[in-house]
């Protein structure tokens, strides 16, 4: 997928250029804030304080981060196979549906120790299944995965509206929400976990899903770079023809990559449905699937980069909410704008700055060589 | 009988109105994709154009200035897409996603900053909009059975842009299949090397295609906010850009079949609205969500090769690297 520069050292290619891209995105965002008549520096201050300045803010930031890690990893694993999974939103939605359906059925009969892991697995399987259909169509019927995953987002959304309004709605209630799960089916909140250890922290939606997200990062790193399946995925993504010569079946690899991708996206349902809302409701995915695209591009499809990018987006989401609260002319959607700009600069225009950097680096290293010669 | 005939005519009438933005966008996508540039940002360009048109109409009170603004903004975004995909050889889908997200965020941010109405633009007076055009004698022929009703309800009484949309389709066909530019456009989407060898600029051809795409999505957006409705509402495109994309694929990247798909998808939408909460004998209440999802489901089935075969232009999505 990447057209890495051959003349630049690694630290510039994977460190400096991505940083320049993000900075360009942030600069344009600052210009937009100026355009609507506010002070961008002040805005950044409010955002940072809102996201990192107090316990509850940090809790929210990490709660958003959890979602972005899942969706970012989901996009990344598909990218490694040369696939663009825009369906994270739908897969997350269906993943949440899976967890919700399972918990609604089983929450009165099973103990927590079984409910929670099984709920997590169901979420992953539902998400994976929702990704498997476009994957199958791409691998075996030749339809384009970008288009089918877009269509599947809409189909997922229509399916959820239908189920929530007609089937799963709690009787005698106007808003389309299911009944609240029983207590054993709730994932513990961070403030509850800390309370067990005798430490008191502020309430926030942050829950133990974050631990699972971090484990997924490590697991995905192992999977992509340390297993034969990961090798197959990278080979297909890099050069499908060469992969075939190496004895890899691209169709199967596409299925595998999308299956893992869908499962990861489905885990957003764990954080949202099992961790925060404790019931099924509409629109709990709130665009996290699309943010995953920005996160993955910014993190260069590497788990470590994705964690950092997720943290940045966590700060942006939480800080953006604070900013909207403090400054009436600014809304939360400013974060959506920043997200779009990040995708533009880190994704579509990722190599725009490369010629300039190459030129600068060339001059710099030449001068260094000259001064070394003079010294000698 | 009389009743159901009127119902039919009114449903078809609604179909024309709902299909209009789909038709504009499907033709827009067709120009872009036939030149080899994937465009999933029809949605974003249409949304941005809708906002620009409604804002300018609200400030200046002129529908024509609004139209120019809508088209200008959409063409601007199209040029951005071209800059990323053609000039910098970026990934077409990534660029499209970026434009969609950018438009959905920016329209709300600017809308709230400029108009303080929660993302809505002020409601427009009739003078600042494209209003229904009454055909001559529409009232006079009312007495004529069947034909009179069709003339009055179905053909007459739409706004200018609806008629433009229906003229754009044969025009697109003519440009793509009967002009020199069209031939080159199709060639550059299939085999850019051949076009380059013939001494034509691949980039310039693709840029022209992308600008045409911007122009048409601009018309679609303008239609939404100042013709069909009287203001901009946040996220007012509501996935219609994607439905248009689906229609274009459904029409296998050809103008008239794509037009047909737009009408079918528009009809589904019009029927879904009318069937909301209606009980049909034998089926019970019709699941409206299913009808609304039908365009997407049909497109997936088509793409899977179960209804004929949809073959995209050969060089689609691939940046053109001139060998030296």
- Percent pLDDT > 90 in chain B is 58
Q: What is the mean pLDDT of residues A322-346?
A: 89
Backbone angles phi and psi of B280, in degrees to 5: -105, 135
Q: Does B112 fall in a domain? A: yes
Q: pLDDT tens digits, residue range B188-201?
A: 999 999 999 999 99
**Residue of A81, A292, A265, A253 whose CA lies nearest to A156:** A265
Q: pLDDT tens digits, residue range B96-149?
A: 999 999 999 999 999 998 998 888 899 889 888 888 887 777 777 767 777 777
**Residue of A217, A353, A226 whose CA lies nearest to A295:** A217
Positive or negative torsion for Cα B164, B165, B168, B173: negative
- Report residue A277's pLDDT band, with 50, 70 and 90 as the boundaries: very high
Residue A248, pLDDT above cutoff 70: yes
SS3 B149: helix
More confident residue, B309 or A290: A290
Report yes or no: B169 and B23 within 8 Å, Cβ to Cβ: yes
**Residue of B251, B225, B6 whose CA lies nearest to B121:** B225
pLDDT of A235: 95
A344 vs B: CB within 8 A:
yes
Closest-CA distance of chain B to residue A375, Å: 40
Taking a contact as any Cβ pair under 8 Å apart, which residues of chain B between 235 and 264 contact chain A? 239, 242, 245-246, 249
Q: What is the CA radius of gyration of chain B?
A: 21
pLDDT of A1: 41
Q: Give the DSSP H/E element, type plus range, for residue A297.
A: helix A288-298
Among B45, B303, B321, the strongest candidate for a mutation testing the A interface, having the largest count of A CBs within 10 A, is B303
- Report residue A16's pLDDT band, with 50, 70 and 90 as the boundaries: confident
- Report residue A314's pLDDT band, with 50, 70 and 90 as the boundaries: very high
CB contact under 8 A, A340 and B101: yes
A30 vs B: CB within 8 A:
no
SS3 A316: helix
Q: What is the mean pLDDT of residues B200-225?
A: 96
Distance from C-alpha of B75 to C-alpha of B260, rounded to nearest angstrom:
26
- Report residue A229's pLDDT band, with 50, 70 and 90 as the boundaries: very high
Backbone angles phi and psi of B269, in degrees to 5: -65, -45
CB contact under 8 A, A333 and B108: yes
Report yes or no: B69 and B56 within 8 Å, Cβ to Cβ: yes
Beta bridge partners of B132: B159
Long-range contact set of residues B201-204: C-beta below 8 Å, sequence gap at least 24: B202/B320, B202/B322, B203/B86, B203/B87, B203/B320
Positive or negative torsion for Cα B44, A81, A238, A6: positive
Q: What is the mean pLDDT of residues A79-86?
A: 94
Backbone angles phi and psi of B42, in degrees to 5: -55, -45
Of A79-83, A141-145, A254-258, B52-56, where does mean pLDDT reach its minimum?
A141-145
Torsion from C-alpha of A246, A252, A257, A259, nearest 10 degrees = -160
pLDDT of A6: 55
Count up the domains in chain A and report the number: 1
Domain that holds residue A268: 64-300
CB contact under 8 A, A336 and B105: yes
Mean pLDDT value across chain A: 91
CA distances from B181 to B187, B212, B260 (A): 10, 12, 24
Q: What is the mean pLDDT of residues A48-56?
A: 93
Q: Which residues does chain A have within 8 Å of residue B103's beta carbon, measured at their own beta carbons? A: 340
Q: What is the mean pLDDT of residues A145-155?
A: 92
Q: What is the CA radius of gyration of chain A?
A: 22
Q: Does A209 fall in a domain? A: yes
Q: pLDDT tens digits, residue range B150-187?
A: 777 778 788 899 999 999 999 999 999 999 999 999 99
Report yes or no: A293 and B97 within 8 Å, Cβ to Cβ: yes
Q: What is the mean pLDDT of residues A207-227?
A: 96
The CA-based angle B166-B168-B172, given to 5 degrees, is: 135
Q: Which residues does chain A have within 8 Å of residue B210's beta carbon, measured at their own beta carbons? A: none
Core vs surface per residue A136-165: b (16+ CB within 10 A) or e = bbbbeeebbbbbbbbbbbbbbbbbbbbbbe
CB contact under 8 A, A330 and B109: yes
Which DSSP letter does residue A248 get? -
Q: What is the mean pLDDT of residues A351-370?
A: 84
B12 vs A: CB within 8 A:
no
Whole-complex ipTM: 0.90
Taking a contact as any Cβ pair under 8 Å apart, which residues of chain B between 130 and 159 contact chain A? none
Burial class (CB within 10 angstroms; exposed 0-12, middle 13-18, buried 19+) of A338: buried
Beta bridge partners of B285: B279
Beta bridge partners of B158: B133
A4 vs B: CB within 8 A:
no
- Report residue B283's pLDDT band, with 50, 70 and 90 as the boundaries: low
Q: pLDDT tens digits, residue range A87-140?
A: 999 999 999 999 999 999 999 999 999 999 999 999 999 999 999 999 999 999
Backbone conformation region of residue B228, classed left if phi is above 0, alpha if psi is from -120 to 50, else beta = alpha
Transcribe B35-60 into DSSP letters. TT-----HHHHHHHHHHHHHHHHHHH
CB contact under 8 A, A351 and B88: yes
Residue B274, pLDDT above cutoff 80: no
- Matching residue, tokens 């009114």: B10
User: The tokens of A143 are what?
Assistant: 């339809």
Q: Which of A331, A347, A351 sits opposite B98 (nearest CB)?
A: A347
Q: Which residues does chain A have within 8 Å of residue B95's beta carbon, measured at their own beta carbons? A: 344, 347-349
pLDDT of B4: 80
Q: Does B318 fall in a domain? A: no
Residue B68, pLDDT above cutoff 60: yes
CB contact under 8 A, A333 and B88: no
Q: Which residues does chain B have within 8 Å of residue A351's beta carbon, measured at their own beta carbons? A: 88-90
CB contact under 8 A, B90 and A151: no
CB contact under 8 A, B88 and A155: no
Q: What is the mean pLDDT of residues B69-80?
A: 97
Distance from C-alpha of B318 to C-alpha of A27, rounded to nearest angstrom:
30
Q: Does B130 fall in a domain? A: no
Q: What is the pTM of this model?
A: 0.90
Residue A198, pLDDT above cutoff 70: yes
> Chain B: residue nearest A134 by CA?
B300
Distance from C-alpha of B231 to C-alpha of B121, rounded to nearest angstrom:
6
Q: Does A244 fall in a domain? A: yes
Task: Find all residues with CB under 8 Å of B259, minimum gap 6, and list them.
Answer: B23, B26, B27, B169, B251
> For residue A176, how many other CB atoms are within 10 A of its CB?
17
Residue A41, pLDDT above cutoff 90: yes
- Report residue B277's pLDDT band, with 50, 70 and 90 as the boundaries: low
B307 vs A: CB within 8 A:
no
- Report residue B56's pLDDT band, with 50, 70 and 90 as the boundaries: very high
Number of H helices, E strands in chain B: 12, 4
Count up the domains in chain B and report the number: 1
Q: Does B189 fall in a domain? A: yes
Pairs of CB atoms within 8 A across A/B:
151
**Residue of A168, A194, A181, A180 whose CA lies nearest to A112:** A181
Distance from C-alpha of B67 to C-alpha of B52, rounded to nearest angstrom:
9
CB contact under 8 A, A333 and B104: yes
Residue B90, pLDDT above cutoff 70: yes
> Chain A: residue nearest B245 by CA?
A147
Q: Does B51 fall in a domain? A: yes
pLDDT of A4: 45
CB contact under 8 A, B108 and A331: yes
Residue B10, pLDDT above cutoff 70: yes
Closest-CA distance of chain B to residue A243, Å: 21
Q: Does A179 fall in a domain? A: yes
Q: Which residues does chain A have within 8 Å of residue B299's beta carbon, measured at their own beta carbons? A: 147, 151
Distance from C-alpha of B182 to C-alpha of B143, rounded to nearest angstrom:
46
Residue A326, pLDDT above cutoff 50: yes
**CATH assignment at residue B240:** 1.10.3470
Positive or negative torsion for Cα B70, B21, A337, A358: negative
Q: Which residues does chain A have within 8 Å of residue B99's beta carbon, measured at their own beta carbons? A: 340, 344
Distance from C-alpha of A290 to C-alpha of A248, rounded to nearest angstrom:
30
Distance from C-alpha of A171 to C-alpha of A179, rounded to nearest angstrom:
9
Q: Does A315 fall in a domain? A: no
A112 vs B: CB within 8 A:
no
Q: Does A351 fall in a domain? A: no
> Chain B: residue nearest A141 by CA?
B304
pLDDT of B1: 63
Of A142-151, B28-37, B65-74, B152-161, where does mean pLDDT reach its minimum?
B152-161
Domain that holds residue B10: 2-124+143-303
Taking a contact as any Cβ pair under 8 Å apart, which residues of chain A between 72 and 111 contact chain B? 84, 86
CB contact under 8 A, A329 and B40: no
Which DSSP letter does residue B321 get? P
Q: Does B47 fall in a domain? A: yes
Residue A10, pLDDT above cutoff 60: yes
- Matching residue, tokens 């739908």: A90
Distance from C-alpha of A233 to C-alpha of A235, rounded to nearest angstrom:
5
Q: Which residues does chain A have within 8 Å of residue B292's beta carbon, measured at their own beta carbons? A: 158
Q: Which residues does chain B have within 8 Å of residue A331's beta carbon, measured at their own beta carbons? A: 108-109, 112, 119
User: The tokens of B269 are what?
Assistant: 């939408």
Among B88, B249, B304, the strongest candidate for a mutation testing the A interface, having the largest count of A CBs within 10 A, is B304
Distance from C-alpha of A285 to C-alpha of A289, rounded to nearest angstrom:
7
Q: Which residues does chain B have within 8 Å of residue A320's beta carbon, measured at their own beta carbons? A: none
Q: Does B21 fall in a domain? A: yes
B88 vs A: CB within 8 A:
yes
């Amino acid at each position: 997928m990447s057209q890495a520069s051959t003349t630049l050292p690694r630290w510039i290619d994977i460190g400096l250029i991505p940083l320049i891209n993000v900075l360009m995105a942030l600069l344009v965002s600052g210009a937009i804030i100026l355009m609507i008549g506010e002070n961008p520096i002040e805005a950044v201050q409010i955002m940072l304080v809102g996201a990192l300045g107090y316990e509850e803010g940090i809790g929210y930031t990490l709660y958003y981060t959890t979602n972005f890690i899942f969706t970012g990893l989901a996009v990344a694993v598909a990218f490694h196979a040369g696939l663009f999974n825009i369906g994270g939103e739908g897969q997350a939605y269906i993943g949440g549906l899976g967890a919700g359906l399972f918990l609604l059925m089983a929450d009165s009969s099973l103990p927590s120790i079984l409910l929670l892991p099984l709920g997590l697995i169901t979420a992953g399987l539902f998400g994976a299944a929702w990704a498997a259909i476009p994957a199958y169509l791409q691998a075996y019927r030749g339809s384009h995965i970008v288009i089918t995953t877009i269509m599947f987002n809409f189909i997922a959304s229509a399916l959820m509206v239908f189920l929530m309004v007609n089937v799963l709605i709690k009787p005698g209630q106007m808003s389309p929400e299911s009944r609240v799960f029983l207590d054993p089916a709730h994932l513990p909140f961070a403030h509850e976990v800390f309370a067990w250890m005798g430490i008191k922290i502020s309430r926030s939606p942050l829950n133990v899903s974050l631990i699972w997200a971090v484990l997924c990062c490590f697991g995905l790193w192992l999977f992509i770079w340390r297993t034969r399946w990961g090798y197959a995925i990278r080979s297909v993504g890099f050069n499908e023809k060469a992969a075939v010569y190496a004895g890899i079946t691209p169709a199967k690899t596409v299925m595998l990559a999308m299956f893992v991708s869908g499962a990861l996206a489905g885990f957003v349902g764990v954080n949202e449905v099992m961790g925060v809302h404790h019931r099924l409701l509409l629109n709990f995915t709130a665009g996290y699937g699309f943010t995953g695209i920005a996160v993955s591009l910014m993190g260069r499809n590497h788990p470590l980069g994705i964690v950092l990018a997720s943290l940045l987006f966590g700060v942006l989401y939480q800080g953006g909410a604070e900013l909207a609260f403090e400054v009436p002319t600014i809304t939360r959607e400013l974060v959506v704008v920043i997200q779009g700009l990040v995708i533009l600069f880190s994704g579509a225009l990722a190599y725009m700055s490369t010629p300039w950097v190459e030129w600068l680096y060339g001059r710099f290293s030449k001068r260094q060589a000259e001064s070394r010669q003079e010294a000698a | 009988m009389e009743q159901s005939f009127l119902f039919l005519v009114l449903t078809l009438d609604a179909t024309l109105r709902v299909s209009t933005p789909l038709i504009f966008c499907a033709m827009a996508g067709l120009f872009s994709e036939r030149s080899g540039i994937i465009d999933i940002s029809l949605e974003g360009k249409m949304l941005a154009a809708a906002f620009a048109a409604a804002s300018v109409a609200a400030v200046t009170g002129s529908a024509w200035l609004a139209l120019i603004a809508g088209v200008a903004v959409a063409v601007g975004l199209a040029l951005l897409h071209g800059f990323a995909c053609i000039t910098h050889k970026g990934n077409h889908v990534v660029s499209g996603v970026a434009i969609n997200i950018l438009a959905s965020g920016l329209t709300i941010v600017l809308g709230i900053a400029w108009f303080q109405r929660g993302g809505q633009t002020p409601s427009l007076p009739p003078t600042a909009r494209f209003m229904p055009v009454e055909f001559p004698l529409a009232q006079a022929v009312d007495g004529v059975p069947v034909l009179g009703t069709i003339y009055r309800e179905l053909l007459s009484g739409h706004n200018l842009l609806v008629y433009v949309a229906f003229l754009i389709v044969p025009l697109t066909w003519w440009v793509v299949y009967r002009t020199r530019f069209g031939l080159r456009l199709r060639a550059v989407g299939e085999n850019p090397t051949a076009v380059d060898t013939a001494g034509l600029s691949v980039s310039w051809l693709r840029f022209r295609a992308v600008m045409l795409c911007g122009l048409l999505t601009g018309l679609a957006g303008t239609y939404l906010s100042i013709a069909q409705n009287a203001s901009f509402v946040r996220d007012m495109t509501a996935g219609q850009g994607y439905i248009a994309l689906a229609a274009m694929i459904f029409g296998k990247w050809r103008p008239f079949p794509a037009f047909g798909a737009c009408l079918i998808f528009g009809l589904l939408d019009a029927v879904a609205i009318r069937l909301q909460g209606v009980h049909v004998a034998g089926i019970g209440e019709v699941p409206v969500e299913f009808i609304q999802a039908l365009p997407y489901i049909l497109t997936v089935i088509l793409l899977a090769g179960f209804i004929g075969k949809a073959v995209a232009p050969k060089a689609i999505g691939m940046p053109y690297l001139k060998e030296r």
